[in-house]
Structure 1
Amino acid sequence: MVSEHGSAQVLVASNRGPITYTLNEDGSLDARRGGGGLVSGLSAIGSEAEALWVCAALGEGDRAAVRQGVGEPGVQMLDIDPAVYSDAYNGIANSALWFVHHMLYQTALEPVFDAEFRRQWASYEAYNRAFAEALAAAAGEGAAVLIQDYHLALAPGILRELRPDLKIGHFSHTPWAPVDYFRMLPDDIAEQLLRGLLGADRACFLTHRWADAFRACCTEVLGAEALPLAGTRIGVHGLGTDADFLRERAHRPDVAERLTALRAEVGPGRKTIVRVDRTELSKNIVRGLLAYRQLLESRPEWRERVVHVAFAYPSRQDLALYRTYMDEVQRVAWEINAVYGTAGWTPVVLHLKDDFARSLAAYRLADVALVNPIRDGMNLVAKEIPVVSDAGCALVLSREAGAYEELGEDALVVNPYDVMGTAEALHEALVMPAGERGERTKRLAAAAMALPPQRWFLEQLEALRG
């Protein structure tokens, strides 16, 4: 039991923090601040709120910063043993829990929950306990603690045991698996995960669909009375876009330069189908490319008249499966260009290096936005492109994206596995009359802005304290 409490009144816990450090050859450190909904949201409460962000040291630069006592007010990095961190983050969070919630296992061969999995699970427990103990030590009496995502599913329950006085919330940024898929996990692990989240006063999700799946898992695994007995309330907070920031940022000079370069790559008079994704298995980039290929094959009138601008930024390249997937994205794009390209037309403009300014330029250029994930907690790209698009864009959207709950009425909705159906939706999007496209874009943008990051964060904080 923690005997001395800190003074922080609002605490956020997440694997990745708002700042990362790079260790230079001379031993000095360079700091780089991140963005995203949590950064924007936490800023909404003001500096007087005694807020603290607890995160993990992700690399050698972060660990060096912790050892040297380098940091900034309001951020506490945890220097967790690298082997424990790797087991917890890569072995369990990203190679087991993420696959379960995104329903991505090839079940004839995987998963295999063997002795190695159990060894890694012990590290996942230790990782979660390190966070819970740090939060317990830093939190003031009755403080509000908002714990983020599947990396920290056990932390609410551990923290509840250490500090029953705290107001604890947990937010899942991924989908939640349906009962039958969730029960793929060993029974004791499934129960431990659910009881971990039920340690929170509020368990929150991006959509009602994911919240309902969590309720169903609790009922099936723990019994019908589990949720009422725990006293855990379920919340749904559909994170939206920071429209003011996006629109201002999208008109800076560096974006204008990249927009000029992209227009040159696309060529004059051509329509654009734009996608911007991290190269994660769930994003379905390969089937998106195959659907574009089918469009060119079945509707040859689009040849030389449309370009697929596809940005596939690296993700989790320390995992072999992700490297293989990125290779396949490149192979299919190259094949389309080899088969259909001409001297004056490159059908697929593929970029792999992360460049936010170039992404915003593509948003502005988009006639059609393709967002076709196999499964996604929300997918903010689906919300960002209509907000930034210069002339309005048609949205081709997977029904398995969380954003479908809010945007489905004004999107062209597709089954993400159906390449032929997606190709037809792309055609419909390309021929959509300008007036209809403009009206849809207005409604899409309004829905996308309904709960911007600051309000999203404050809404959770107020509900937790209420």
Structure 2
Amino acid sequence: MSETAEQGQYQTGYEFVVVANRLAVNRITTPDGSTGWQRSPGGLVTALAPIMTSSEGAWVGWHGAADESLEPFDHEGMHLHPVALSEQEVEYYYEGFSNGTLWPLYHDVIARPLFHRHWWDAYRRVNQRFAEAAGKVAAQGATVWVQDYQLQLVPQMLRDLRPDVKIGFFNHIPFPPPGLFAQLPWRHSVMRGLLGADLIGFQRESDARNFQRAVRDRLGYYIKSEQIYVPLEDETAAPLEGFTADPARGTAPRQLSAPEDGTFRRSEAKAFPISIDTDRIVELANDPKIIARAAQIRAELGNPEHIYLGVDRLDYTKGIRHRMKAYEELLQEGKLQVGTHTMVQIASPSREGVESYQRLRDEIELTVGRINGEFDTMGHTAIRYLHHNYPIEEMVALYLAADVMLVTALRDGMNLVAKEYVAARKDGTGVLVLSEFTGAADQLRQALLINPHDIDELKAAMVQATHLDRDNERKRMRSLRRQVVSHNVQRWAEDFLRRLDQL
């Protein structure tokens, strides 16, 4: 295609493009049996949908069905561009490399990551497809924001295709310490893929530092503050091509001082903690119907004095087993009593095609059955376990009903449930028990912070939560709510895009 034709094509493109593993909509079946689309309820869509509608933006992503190709379509002011995936690619790229290799590796190897070359090949192939799709819809000089660990190669692939666009990347999960990241056979390709972005966002300062250290130690690039100096010679070396697992193995640090102008491009790695749609949560928490539903939930549980609540995807990183062990020991020791105290555990189905998740579900359900078998009474249940997805209205009712929120993740990029609970507690009551290994712990310092691996510390915090005097409880919650309300998901998106624009 001629340069003139390319310019004409870009001018009909979109000034703002989001690239994510999934589209911003879910397919639904209507009451009359027909199918349609519904906007996804997640925080990312909530934050970016207004920006997309005001800027005529496009969203590139997979629509959720394997072996099906769809034409681009519009929904509620958003231009959606589906990327097709085969059933094998879903198995290898998504369930395999993304969730069998990267997810456990990036979450401190709580579960053992698997390194399969055919998974990597599929990951690279699918990332190329996403990059090409983004390149086709982006206007000349557009801003393209790539989301999350499934698409870490897209920034450099897109830069190779469209050097005119401005590229941002945000990693929603943790980035591991360099010693753990070094286990990945394709570590250099992943780092170079990410460094194709002008701005790389992370949840925590520690995540950004981990990435910077990995780049310095493994690639030898010069780094000053948050700026990484990417040698242009490395960008032209096609590091993402071929089947070599680690083409730069053994490379020693080279850039001990700033390189000369014209020989490098800057990429910035910086923390941008994500948040929630606080206005929506507060609005629901003030809804009389939801307030009534919260009272009904307490009544259905037998009106205990204290309700402990856990809300998680069913994932081994969430520490569900740890909190159940702590709760069981407190019941055994008589420090908690069924009837006076009740635990509600919501465990949303997750990655049910992955064997490790199937084993986790079996283990959790056996644990719940054992605890209830030992401690249930005729009128009360020790643990009310619910393996379902619930709409946000029901979740807010649960937040209002619960006296203590248990967030015991062993490793979590942020954990938005903690922030949702805080936003919902408009009367200033409620206690948040929060793992120090979540990104939320950096901001929610007035929670009862715990090490979830320390069962005795977790038990002590659970008991402390039920004995806090009301003044202390309200003081803590007021501080937490100020933080959450003033730093919502819209501000997160605006801060990231403002910084990307400055670069």
Same fold, judged at TM 0.5 (above) = yes
Q: Which residue of 2 aligns with 1:435?
A: 471
In structure 1, distance between residues paired with 2:423 and 2:54: 32
* Higher normalized helix content (fraction of residues): 1
Q: Which amino acid aligns with 1:33?
A: R
Q: Which residue of 1 aligns with 2:483?
A: 447
Deviations 1:166-216 (A, max 9, x none): 110000000000011111111xx0000000000000000111111111111
Q: Which residue of 1 aligns with 2:369?
A: 334
Is residue 2:211 matched to residue 1:206?
no
Q: Which residue of 2 aligns with 1:95?
A: 100
In structure 2, distance between residues paired with 1:36 and 1:76: 19
In structure 2, distance between residues paired with 1:337 and 1:415: 26
Residues 112 and 381 (structure 1 numbering): CA distance in 2 closer, same or farther, change over 3 Å?
Answer: closer
Q: Which residue of 2 aligns with 1:49?
A: 55
In structure 2, distance between residues paired with 1:258 and 1:24: 26
Deviations 1:232-266 (A, max 9, x none): 01222111222210122234466346424421232
Q: 1:308-347 counterparts in 2 under 5 A? A: 308-347=343-382
Q: 1:174-193 counterparts in 2 under 5 A? A: 174-186=173-185, 189-193=186-190
CA shift for structure 1 position 27:
9.2
Q: Which residue of 1 aligns with 2:282?
A: 247
CA RMSD, 1 decimal: 2.3
Q: Which residue of 1 aligns with 2:164?
A: 165
SS at match of 1:429: helix
Q: Which residue of 1 aligns with 2:439?
A: 402
CA shift for structure 1 position 50:
2.1
CA shift for structure 1 position 30:
2.5
Q: Which amino acid aligns with 2:298?
A: R
Q: Which residue of 1 aligns with 2:260?
A: none
Q: Which residue of 1 aligns with 2:91?
A: 86
SS at match of 2:93: helix
In structure 2, distance between residues paired with 1:299 and 1:306: 11
In structure 1, distance between residues paired with 2:385 and 2:33: 37
Is residue 2:417 matched to residue 1:418?
no
In structure 1, distance between residues paired with 2:218 and 2:23: 33
In structure 2, distance between residues paired with 1:464 and 1:39: 19
Q: Is the Cα–Cα contact under 8 Å of residues 203 and 234 in structure 1 kept in the other structure?
A: yes
Q: Is the Cα–Cα contact under 8 Å of residues 302 and 339 in structure 2 kept in the other structure?
A: no
**Paired residue for 1:267, among 282, 302, 320?**
302
CA shift for structure 1 position 297:
2.1
Structure 2: 5+ residue stretches without partners: 231-264
Q: Which residue of 1 aligns with 2:43?
A: 37
Q: Is the Cα–Cα contact under 8 Å of residues 404 and 465 in structure 2 kept in the other structure?
A: yes
In structure 2, distance between residues paired with 1:301 and 1:166: 58
In structure 1, distance between residues paired with 2:306 and 2:495: 40
Q: Is the Cα–Cα contact under 8 Å of residues 338 and 381 in structure 2 kept in the other structure?
A: no
Q: Is the Cα–Cα contact under 8 Å of residues 409 and 437 in structure 2 kept in the other structure?
A: yes
Q: Which residue of 2 aligns with 1:386?
A: 422
CA shift for structure 1 position 93:
0.5
In structure 2, distance between residues paired with 1:435 and 1:256: 23
Residues 252 and 123 (structure 1 numbering): CA distance in 2 closer, same or farther, change over 3 Å?
Answer: same
CA shift for structure 1 position 437:
0.6
Q: Which amino acid aligns with 2:387?
A: L
TM-score (norm: length of structure 1): 0.92
In structure 2, distance between residues paired with 1:392 and 1:220: 47
CA shift for structure 1 position 380:
0.6
SS at match of 1:196: helix
Is residue 2:144 matched to residue 1:138?
no
Residues 253 and 88 (structure 1 numbering): CA distance in 2 closer, same or farther, change over 3 Å?
Answer: farther
Deviations 1:255-308 (A, max 9, x none): 346424421232224211111111111111111111111222234354431111
Residues 455 and 292 (structure 1 numbering): CA distance in 2 closer, same or farther, change over 3 Å?
Answer: same
Q: Which amino acid aligns with 1:96?
A: T
In structure 2, distance between residues paired with 1:56 and 1:312: 25
Deviations 1:65-112 (A, max 9, x none): x16x65534111111333223211111001101111002355xxx445
| Between 165-174 and 15-24, the greater mean CA deviation after superposition | 15-24
**Rg larger in structure:** 2
Deviations 1:314-354 (A, max 9, x none): 11111121122112222112211111121222111111111
Q: Is the Cα–Cα contact under 8 Å of residues 20 and 147 in structure 2 kept in the other structure?
A: yes
CA shift for structure 1 position 411:
1.3
User: Aligned residue pairs: how many?
Assistant: 454
In structure 1, distance between residues paired with 2:108 and 2:54: 42
Q: Which residue of 2 aligns with 1:125?
A: 124
Q: Which amino acid aligns with 2:477?
A: T
SS at match of 2:124: helix
Q: Which amino acid aligns with 1:167?
A: K
Q: Which residue of 2 aligns with 1:351?
A: 386
Q: Which amino acid aligns with 1:151?
A: Q
Q: Which residue of 1 aligns with 2:215?
A: 218
Query: Which structure has the higher relative contact order (CA within 8 Å, separation 6+)?
Result: 1
In structure 1, distance between residues paired with 2:113 and 2:473: 44
In structure 2, distance between residues paired with 1:351 and 1:448: 27
Q: Is the Cα–Cα contact under 8 Å of residues 73 and 81 in structure 2 kept in the other structure?
A: no
Q: Is the Cα–Cα contact under 8 Å of residues 198 and 232 in structure 1 kept in the other structure?
A: yes
Q: Which residue of 2 aligns with 1:279?
A: 314
SS at match of 2:173: coil
Q: Which amino acid aligns with 2:50?
A: A
**Runs of 4+ in structure 1 displaced over 4 angstroms?**
22-28, 251-254
In structure 2, distance between residues paired with 1:149 and 1:142: 22
Over the matched positions of the two proteins, sequence identity in percent amounts to: 31
Q: Which amino acid aligns with 2:352?
A: Q
In structure 2, distance between residues paired with 1:74 and 1:23: 21
